[in-house]
Every structure is written in structure tokens, then in C-alpha cells.
Amino acid sequence: MNPYLDIHPEVAKALAQGKPVVALESTIISHGMPYPQNVRTALAVEEVVRQNGAVPATIAILGGRLKAGLTREEIEYLGQQGQKVTKTSRRDLAVLLAKGMDGATTVATTMMIACMAGIRVFATGGIGGVHRGAGTTMDISADLQELARTDVAVVCAGAKAILDLKLTLEYLETHGVPVLGYGTEELPAFYTRTSGLKVDYRVDSPEEIARIMAVRSDLGLSGGILVTNPIPEEWSMDPVLINGTMDRAVAEAEAQGITGKEVTPFLLARVKELTGGDSLEANIALVKNNARLAARIAGALG
């Protein structure tokens, strides 16, 4: 057992009994939404996982301890602290533990801690990727490298449209990460169901995804898989509108000199403002949709 890891008793019991468990990230709580909507959403997503037959394990770092599964009080704490909590990627992990600090886990660190705990399926909103202009800035999310090395299936609504989606797919291909489209052959683009880009393979059931995971394990293949799950049709936003809004937000971030891990929170907040809150409602809907599918995949693995 990892000496820095605390597994919530409900999660530990489910894992010991071979019951399905779904990991959930905490960056969406502290950096993705305002309080108290962040707390309400986190608890609602956990409830979606339960309703679909799995145990939720929201992951974070509290007081220098890795947490696989949080109490309601701990989720409330993260929601109230908001952006005071460090947005934590792989590079930050050892420092926060050594200093006894709190951390909200990104896709990369949620994958790492889930794998340490023995959790094989993780639901999030959208992954990070290759940023626009990365040929100059070298701004590439650590999420992609983690997908290449950590054995967890990540269910998402694709990569955020603020990214260079074509280069993100190229990067994943180079590192051997299969990109699956649930019920689709096209890569979803977070707020919209299509991007005009193809995924590697279409899959049509949780059982099919579970079989792919099992075969990868039998073959001894390292790294995760990316399951892209389009936002529900009723919540999908107009591509022209959202892409224009994204372009404007990206230009504003560049003009203000916003870089690194501050970019995504700024862009999400600005897009919310520019869409009159519609993007936030769409974000909540797609996270719940991904949690539902992740729970069914975790159940099929059993």
C-alpha cells in the first residue's frame, strides 16, 4: 500500500469485493465552477455514479495526503477554498505531499492516484491537450503523457475546443493511446458533438470497452485508453458560436499574458461570461453523461 494514500472506507470495501468504482477529479470543484455550484455538481455527479451501479471515488490531496474518495465535508471544503487550492499535475505531487498542502487533481494526477488505489475507470469533463501555437510555446498538457503511461480508462467529452484538436490526436497516436468514440466515429469537441476529426475506433457498448481493456491487460500493454463520449444532443452548443467565443477568449488570454496552468480556468470562466452561463450548464450535463458511461464500463469490467 502506498504510504501516502488514504482510501475512503466505502471505496476500499468496494475494491476488496470486486465491485465497480469510478474515479472523479477535483479540479472541476476548485477551479472549474463557482461556489456553491461546484459542490452541488460534485455531489450530483457522485450520485449519478451510484445510480448506475458503481461507487464514486472523488480524488484530491488534503493535508499532504492522497485521497481516493472524499467525504461530503471534504468536497465542501474544496468548493469553499476554490482557487486557493493548488491545481495539481504530476510535477506538483511530491512537493505538495512533502509540504503537507492541499491539491485539486487534474486529469493527470487523478489518473495517477486512481491507479495507485486500483481504480481502473475515471470520468471527467474534457482532457487537456496540445494548445494552439504549441509549436512555439511547447504548451502541451501533462494529461496526454499520463494517458500514455498510466493504466486507466478515461471517459470524457473529448478535448476542449480551446486546444489544437488535430495535434492532440497526433500526439496521442504517437504515444500509442487508442482514442475510442462511444457511438460515434468523430471526435467530440467538449461543448459540441463533432469536430470534423476521426477517432481511432467506434465502440457501441460498455461491454465492448471492457473487452478492449481486458485484452490490453492480457497483452501487457501499458498506458490508458481514451473513451470520448459526445455531449448529450440537447446540450450541444452551436459550433460557430462556441468556436468564435473560444477564439475571442484565447485572444484575450494572450493579450493579458496568461500562461501555463492558469490558461484553462481563465478560458472556461471567460467563455461562461460570453455565453451568458450556457457553457457552464453544458459542462455540467456532459460531466454527468460521462459519469454515467464510466459507471457502466466499471460494471462491465466486473
Active site residues: 25, 160
Task: Say if residues 123 and 134 touch (Cβ distance below 8 Å).
Answer: no
Helix, strand, coil content of the chain in percent (nearest 5): 50, 20, 30
Cell numbers describing residue 58: 472523488
What stretch of H or E contains 88? strand 86-88
Residue written as cell 478560458?
267
In terms of DSSP bridges, do strands 55-62 and 103-105 run parallel, antiparallel, or are they unpaired?
antiparallel
DSSP type of residue 231 = P
* Sign for the pseudo-dihedral over CA of 143, 147, 150, 156: positive
Say how far apart CA 38 and CA 26 lie, in whole Å.
10
Say how far apart CA 215 and CA 82 lie, in whole Å.
40
What stretch of H or E contains 56? strand 55-62
Task: Say if residues 67 and 6 touch (Cβ distance below 8 Å).
Answer: yes
| Interacting residues of 168 by C-beta distance below 8 A, sequence separation 6+ | 129, 130, 144, 159
Cell numbers describing residue 163: 486546444
CA 26 to each of CA 34, 88, 139, 140: distance values in angstroms, whole numbers, following the listed order: 13, 10, 22, 21
- b/e sequence 133-151, b meaning 16+ C-beta within 10 Å: ebeeeebbbbbbbbbbbbb
